[in-house]
């Protein structure tokens, strides 16, 4: 444990020692921090300056004076200096040295995002580099690892952002039966995900499904149908083509909660009642607004549909929320409860050289994104005592989400059901949806406004990695020309969809 001492410098200001090493000047700490800030070489495109363990943090004010347009942040390695966190725009707390490298990387990505981490200038407060050598080394390793993850995410985003925009164009073109929530959901909510832990709860869910408003995530739909579980709402937010595979057997009468950016086959958009999930930002918002959409539900962007479903339930219901199949960890063998449509497709490609066991092993080893999602569930400040995960052998903690076993869940269901019968309560009518009064008309009217949609911010969103490269190399004319050609091609494809 590091011994931190606070003492007076020669000029009367406060200074500090860590195990006898001065973290600030013993004569004039503020003058020292002023020189540090002036000597820091921060490039123009960078949006943030982040100091690794700035101690008493005199430097925050100096940096703000020199870089008023940039965010000033800190990575804290010593809890004794937490009282100075308010001097920064944001602080990442690395004081807990029990966390592994992956957790620190995910903490960086969660706070900064995949674009800002490349637009941030990280700098050591030199005395801290000596006093907290091990912590600084771990921090730099975490920054490097987070940047590698961020690059992978940006490459993925650059691929999917175009798909999301094309999906949004199809959404406004083909949607025929949009619905909205008639009222707040006045009963307990059950969210069904497709993790392997769902298996043990299927019987109880089937038996007591009438007592819940049941949200089935698309990947769990086939398993629920096989086990006689009906969905009050099916939710899908994935933009990839394979997302449509999970919806192949969806009844046309079932309400489908869908973001405009999600992939959905044309026949579903034309025939199913759809509850639009509108994000607060992005190009899908511009498209739907121009097309005259109103109503639907405001949804929060989340890396996983499980997170979107949970936030939907928190905002639009008043009861408790139970989550089944939310493992947030890789498993041995199948990663989802079967039947699963993607698994069905994949097993058709199995042969003697590419066996099912080899394929399942690869899935076991590819759980990197789960770590990021896990951090969101673990660190979000949910209302205590309202959210429960049904799981018999948890391999992780989800913070304020309370774990209960399948047996405990069944006991709760039996108790609540028995009380309702004893009180002669009528079963709640699940009449929660109403057709939107002003369904969208004439999506072709968007076409003249496509140039307005494709402004600089939009291009940066659709092509994040390319735009980031251009910010750092503005004279790269070849990259500019390639980007302009891609934007033109994408604009033409959207016109084709809207004018179909």
pLDDT higher than 50, residue 122: yes
Which has more pLDDT, 34 or 355? 34
pLDDT at residue 394, as a whole number: 93
Q: Is the pLDDT of residue 404 over 70?
A: yes
pLDDT, mean over the chain: 87
Q: How many Å is the Cα radius of gyration of the chain?
A: 26
Do 125 and 23 meet the contact criterion of CB atoms below 8 Å apart? yes
Across 362-385, average pLDDT: 74
Asked if the peptide bond before residue 339 counts as cis, ω within 30 degrees of 0, the response is yes
Could you report the per-residue pLDDT of 456-491, keeping only the tens digit for each?
A: 888 888 999 898 888 888 889 999 999 999 999 998
Q: What is the pTM of this model?
A: 0.76
pLDDT at 202 over 60: yes
Which of 16-25, 211-220, 268-277, 335-344 is least confident? 335-344
- Report whether pLDDT(448) > 90: no
Has residue 174 got a pLDDT over 50?
yes
Distance of CA 420 to the CA centre of its chain: 38
- In angstroms, rounded to a whole number, what is the distance separating the alpha carbons of residues 291 and 173? 9
Q: What local confidence, expressed as pLDDT, does residue 212 receive?
A: 95
Strand 21-22 relative to strand 14-18, pairing: antiparallel
Averaging pLDDT over each range in 4-13, 91-100, 152-161, 456-465, which range is the top one?
4-13
Confidence category of residue 359, pLDDT binned at 50, 70, 90: very low
pLDDT higher for 16 or 427?
16
pLDDT tier, 365 (very low <50, low <70, confident <90, very high otherwise): very low
Q: Please give the Cα distance from 382 to 399 (Å, whole number).
A: 9
d(CA 265, CA 259): 13
């Amino acid at each position: 444990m590091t011994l931190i001492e606070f003492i007076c410098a020669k000029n009367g200001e406060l200074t500090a020692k860590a195990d006898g090493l001065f973290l600030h000047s013993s004569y004039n700490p503020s003058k020292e921090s002023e020189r540090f800030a002036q000597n820091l070489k921060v490039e123009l495109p960078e949006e943030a300056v982040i100091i690794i363990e700035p101690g008493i943090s005199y430097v925050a004010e100096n940096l703000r004076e020199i870089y008023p347009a940039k965010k000033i942040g800190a990575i804290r390695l010593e809890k004794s200096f937490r009282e100075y966190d308010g001097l920064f725009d944001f602080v990442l707390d690395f004081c807990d040295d029990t966390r592994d490298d992956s957790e620190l990387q995910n903490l960086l990505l969660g706070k900064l995002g995949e674009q800002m981490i490349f637009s941030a200038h990280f700098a050591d407060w030199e005395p801290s580099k000596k006093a907290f050598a091990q912590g600084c080394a771990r921090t730099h390793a975490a920054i490097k690892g987070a940047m590698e993850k961020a690059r992978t995410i940006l490459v993925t985003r650059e691929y999917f952002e175009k798909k999301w925009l094309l999906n949004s164009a199809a959404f406004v073109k083909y949607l025929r039966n949009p619905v909205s929530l008639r009222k707040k959901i006045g009963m307990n909510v059950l969210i069904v995900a497709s993790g392997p832990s769902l298996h043990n709860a299927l019987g109880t869910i089937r038996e007591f499904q009438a007592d819940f408003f049941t949200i089935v995530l698309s990947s769990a739909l086939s398993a629920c149908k096989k086990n006689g579980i009906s969905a009050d709402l099916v939710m899908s937010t994935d933009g990839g083509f394979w997302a449509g595979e999970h919806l192949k057997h969806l009844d046309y009468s079932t309400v489908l909660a869908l973001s405009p950016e999600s992939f959905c086959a044309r026949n579903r958009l034309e025939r199913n009642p759809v509850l639009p999930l509108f994000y607060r930002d992005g190009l899908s918002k511009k498209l739907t607004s121009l097309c005259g959409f109103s109503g639907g539900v405001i949804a929060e962007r989340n890396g996983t549909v499980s997170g979107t479903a949970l936030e939907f339930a928190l905002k639009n219901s008043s009861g408790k929320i139970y989550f089944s199949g939310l493992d947030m960890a890789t498993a041995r063998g199948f990663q989802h409860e079967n039947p699963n449509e993607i698994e069905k497709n994949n097993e058709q490609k199995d042969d003697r050289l590419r066996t099912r066991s080899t394929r399942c092993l690869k899935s076991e080893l590819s759980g990197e994104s789960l770590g990021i999602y896990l951090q969101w569930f673990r660190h979000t400040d949910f209302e205590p005592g309202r959210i429960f995960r049904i799981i018999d052998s948890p391999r992780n903690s989800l913070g304020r989400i309370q774990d209960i076993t399948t047996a405990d869940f069944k006991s709760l269901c039996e108790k609540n059901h028995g009380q309702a019968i004893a009180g002669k309560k009528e079963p709640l009518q699940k009449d929660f949806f109403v057709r939107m009064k002003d369904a969208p008309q004439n999506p072709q009217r968007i076409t003249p406004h496509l140039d307005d949609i494709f402004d600089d911010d939009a291009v940066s969103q659709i092509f994040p990695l390319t735009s980031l490269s251009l910010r750092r190399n503005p004279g790269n004319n070849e990259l500019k020309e390639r980007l302009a050609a891609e934007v033109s091609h994408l604009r033409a494809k959207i016109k084709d969809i809207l004018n179909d």
